[in-house]
Structure 1
Amino acid sequence: MLARVRPAATPLWATYAAWLAPASLAARCGYATQANATALSFAEHGSPERVLRLQHTDLPATLGDHEVRIHLLAAPINPSDINTIEGKYPIAPELPGVPGHEGVGEVEAVGSKVTRMRPGDRVVPIEHGQGTWRTHGVFNELHWYKIPKDIPLGTAATMVINPPTAVKLLSDFVQLAEGDTLVQSGASSHVGRLVIQLAKSRGINTINLIRDRPERAEQERELRSLGATLVTTAAECRQALQAAGLPKPKLGLDCVSSDSAAACAKVLAPGGTLVVYGAMSQQPLTVPPGLLIFNDIRIRGFWLTGGFAKMKDGWRAKEQLVDHVCALFRTKVIRPVDVECLPLEQWEKALQRVASDDRTGKVLLTSFPPDEIRG
């Protein structure tokens, strides 16, 4: 029989030496060792390809009482990020600034009075405009929130905008019950896919509008695999709904505008609500006034960041929502998003992938081995 080998006990002097080591003191007391950072920045508004510059800077060696130094592992390129750089978004950093409203990082060092997190914790931004398109940064501890480490990095990097948006769209406007129906444009978007999964978990039917293009059949199969009840186009929506025999939708969700918004509104039940949360077509909203007059259709707007900004304790409400989203991923109510990972230094290629028609997932700018970020 083999004897169990016990590891040698660590001498007491070695324990104290490790505790007093400069790196350990720095992490616990805020005396952060000097660190270099690489960031994408812009000094004027315009197209990202024209105004973005990759720059290298030194971070402060000492942290303020409530500051944390974070290694940014991954950050997505979202439409709101592009709009921020272009000067079309209501919230923007002071120039020169760093874009990026979303991402995930690991705490490297904390200030002397920081209590919300410690070195090694994984965190996501709960305050907009943190500038996540960088490798490292120093931030206010209240602007970031600790999340469980078992959330895959790709999922964590994309969990504070689209998943909370999908949750709020289904909870804040119309109280839907099992067997009810909703209709949405932009069903193949990240929010659209999340809405499908959340609705399926509650027994709610979804009518999902997509574009009529060569890969339409493949896209239909994919959305049905997520739980979509009906997948169709704006032009075919009314006929498809009648053929399916589904109840008229009480709720419509639109992120495209133009004809897609009108198609959603035209199939709503009398008294139904259309919620507009995007305008990807960059075209005006075209809803026939007769629907408002004779069908009493209501049109509402939704902006996640603006809603929290108006609340007295908006950051606390967003923390609770992030906890809820973590639970939805852990219980597999919603699936991790597909991601494409490119190093921060390859930002121009990443922007090209964002604009590509064959892209199916989120594009992430990373400063971490891509194989560990997927999922």
Structure 2
Amino acid sequence: MQRAAARALRGARSPPVRMRSVAARSPPRGLVYERHGEPPAVLQLKDLEVAELGDSDVHVKMLAAPINPADINMIQGSYAILSPLPAVGGSEGVGEVLEVGRRVAALRPGDWVIPADSGLGTWRTRGVFPEELLLKVPRDIPVLCAATLSVNPCTAYRMLADFQPLAPGDSVIQNGANSGVGQAVIQIAKASGIKTINVVRDRPDLPKLVERLMALGADHVITEEMLRKPEMKEIFKSIPKPRLALNCVGGKSTTEMLRHLQPKGIMVTYGGMAKQPVTVPVSAFIFRDVQLRGFWMTQWKRDHAQDQQSLASMIDALCQLIRRGQLAAPACTEVPLQDYKVALEASMKPFTSSKQILLF
């Protein structure tokens, strides 16, 4: 799969060739970076050469693609996986199938598809990709839900399902609750009858943020400073202490959140926005036997590359929640592709609660 991903990325610089039924189309365009650095400085909107449609390839017209923190880190050169340069940015999005190779069995023109793995290069108007790197999704879900489906909701789903056996009435505590993953955790937990305690950083528009997270189904929204205050005892009069903590921040926020875990509780770290280490009191290990785990959705997908049923079942479960109105796209700002610099700058600002979505 990694070789196929590299081939898909290299398609942006393949020699121009005649495509069967699309030769007359204007060249696709995409956001390309030839070196690592700050995205507004190194990304350029360029015409792309079209790779030949092979027997097992799919020609896709992109509809929408978000800007995620991992995309920023990949362009900066600081992420765990890096695409061969030059590369097209973007790892998530939704597209419509225009044409398929003669050996493609699962996809047809008109189908909607999302990436099956990271590094696909979704910030482009059109692209040719191997069938194995694409997943079919239903067309009856909102396009923004489809565009943001493969990373944050999947991460939230797996962390709620794989680390602790949670039952209705149990509780989960998470920081970064306004993030894309955090919003998905709130909604998926709510649909399962699981209570959520949601920690956010203090900010000028805090009441507005609290109102929005409560509308999604949050049971409690608190600031990092409240984690040490007596008011926490009031929360635990109505719900049990959490057995699962989800951490995407690090630093002091994580240490304070950990104090509220039940004995034998598990904290899962999936991000480090504060760029500070996770510090745990020795007593938490000795006297409460807490566990620290890590999670990376990309690694989960690669570990289950031969088990397509697990991935398909997860996507189906999430789409069912979307259809029932129990899982919405995160707060989004839709930006035309040509205004990508505005979207990049907005996505990199502190206290950002709206995900920037590039529209093609």
- Whether TM-score is above 0.5 comes out as yes
5 Å-filtered alignment, 1:334-349, equals 334-349=327-342
Query: Which residue among 231, 235, 244 is the counterpart of 2:225?
Result: 235
Match of 1:349, as an amino acid? V
Kindly state the Cα deviation for residue 358 of structure 1 after the two structures are TM-superposed.
6.8
8 Å contact from structure 2 (residues 117, 301) kept in 1: no
Kindly state the Cα deviation for residue 275 of structure 1 after the two structures are TM-superposed.
0.6
Displacement over 6 Å in runs of 4+? none
Q: Does 1:290 align with 2:283?
A: yes
**Partner-residue secondary structure (3-state), 1:91:** coil
Q: Which residue is 1:205 aligned to?
A: 195
- Are residues 302 and 358 of structure 1, via their aligned partners in 2, closer, same or farther at CA, if it must alter by over 3 Å? closer
Q: Which residue is 1:170 aligned to?
A: 160
5 Å-filtered alignment, 1:5-84, equals 31-34=20-23, 35=25, 36-60=27-51, 62-84=52-74
Kindly state the Cα deviation for residue 312 of structure 1 after the two structures are TM-superposed.
4.7
- Amino-acid identity (%): 41
- Are residues 93 and 316 of structure 1, via their aligned partners in 2, closer, same or farther at CA, if it must alter by over 3 Å? farther
8 Å contact from structure 1 (residues 179, 204) kept in 2: yes
Q: Which residue is 1:134 aligned to?
A: 124
- Comparing 211-220 with 78-87, greater Cα deviation is found at 211-220
8 Å contact from structure 1 (residues 187, 209) kept in 2: yes
Match of 1:170, as an amino acid? L
Kindly state the Cα deviation for residue 82 of structure 1 after the two structures are TM-superposed.
0.5
Extract unaligned runs of 5+ from structure 1: 1-29, 368-375
Match of 1:144, as an amino acid? L
Query: Which residue among 292, 296, 302 is the counterpart of 1:303?
Result: 296
Kindly state the Cα deviation for residue 315 of structure 1 after the two structures are TM-superposed.
4.6
CA distance in structure 1 between the partners assigned to 2:152 and 2:183 by the alignment? 10
Extract unaligned runs of 5+ from structure 2: 1-18
* TM-score normalised over the length of structure 1: 0.86
8 Å contact from structure 1 (residues 264, 274) kept in 2: no
Q: Which residue is 2:261 aligned to?
A: 268
- Are residues 190 and 289 of structure 1, via their aligned partners in 2, closer, same or farther at CA, if it must alter by over 3 Å? same
Q: Which residue is 1:224 aligned to?
A: 214
Larger radius of gyration: 1
Query: In the TM superposition, what whole-angstrom CA distance separates every residue of 1:15-71 from its partner, at most 9, and x where no partner exists?
Result: xxxxxxxxxxxxxxx7232241101111111111222122112314x5110111111
CA distance in structure 2 between the partners assigned to 1:210 and 1:329 by the alignment? 25
CA distance in structure 1 between the partners assigned to 2:206 and 2:121 by the alignment? 36
8 Å contact from structure 1 (residues 31, 111) kept in 2: no
Query: In the TM superposition, what whole-angstrom CA distance separates every residue of 1:104-152 from its partner, at most 9, and x where no partner exists?
Result: 1011111111111111111111122110011111000111122111111
**Partner-residue secondary structure (3-state), 1:55:** strand
Query: In the TM superposition, what whole-angstrom CA distance separates every residue of 1:288-311 from its partner, at most 9, and x where no partner exists?
Result: 222112211110000111122123
Q: CA RMSD in A?
A: 1.6
CA distance in structure 1 between the partners assigned to 2:63 and 2:198 by the alignment? 34
CA distance in structure 2 between the partners assigned to 1:185 and 1:230 by the alignment? 12
**Partner-residue secondary structure (3-state), 2:109:** coil
Query: In the TM superposition, what whole-angstrom CA distance separates every residue of 1:327-356 from its partner, at most 9, and x where no partner exists?
Result: 110112212333211122211111122134
* TM-score normalised over the length of structure 2: 0.89
- Are residues 316 and 32 of structure 1, via their aligned partners in 2, closer, same or farther at CA, if it must alter by over 3 Å? farther
Match of 1:266, as an amino acid? R
